């Protein structure tokens, strides 16, 4: 993991596109490019920090509040029956992007989650989900 090429810092800086759901001064939330499930969102602090343990208190509070709000949007607007929140720290724990992020993954009754990266059928499908979830 090379922090100087951090892809999430590039998204925050507007250097590469993302399907944004929410943004404020400390936090950004956007659709995961390779979703485990339709509506899989990443909630990311704007400050670059590699692990949860590196994140300043104010950014931690902001990012967990937005994670809660994203969960609410998923339940009401997607809709879904529940959701998983998870957060990986270190390559040994499956962290591939060296910038703290919370995964918020919608869940549906009777539908087991396939814990493998998927894709959207088209950019339009991702935009439709964005329109439902944006706040």
Instruction: Determine which residue in the list 34, 54, 79, 82 makes contact with ligand 5GP, applying CB under 6 A.
Output: 34
Chain-centroid distance of CA 100 in Å reads 10
Q: Could you say which of 40, 99, 101, 103 is catalytic?
A: 101
Cα dist. 35→17, 55, 56 in Å? 16, 25, 28
In the complex, the smallest distance separating the C-beta of residue 98 from ligand 5GP, rounded to whole angstroms, is 8
Q: Which stretch binds Zn ion (CB under 5 A): 45-53, 66-74, 87-95, 121-129?
A: 45-53
Q: Which residues are catalytic?
A: 101
Chain residues in the site for Zn ion (CB under 5 A): 6, 8-9, 48, 99
Chain residues in the site for ligand 5GP (CB under 6 A): 7, 18, 30-34, 42, 88, 94-97, 117
């Amino acid at each position: 993991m090379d922090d100087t090429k951090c892809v999430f810092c590039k998204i925050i800086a507007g250097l590469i596109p993302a399907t944004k759901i929410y943004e404020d001064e400390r936090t950004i939330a956007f659709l995961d490019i390779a979703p485990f499930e339709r509506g899989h969102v990443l909630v990311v602090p704007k400050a670059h920090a590699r692990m949860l343990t590196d994140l300043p208190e104010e950014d931690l509070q902001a990012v967990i509040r937005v994670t809660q709000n994203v969960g609410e949007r998923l339940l009401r607007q997607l809709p879904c029956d529940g959701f998983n929140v998870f957060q990986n720290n270190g390559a040994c724990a499956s962290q591939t992007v060296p910038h703290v992020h919370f995964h918020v993954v919608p869940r549906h009754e009777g539908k087991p989650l396939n814990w493998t990266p998927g894709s959207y059928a088209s950019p339009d499908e991702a935009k439709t989900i964005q329109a439902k979830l944006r706040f």
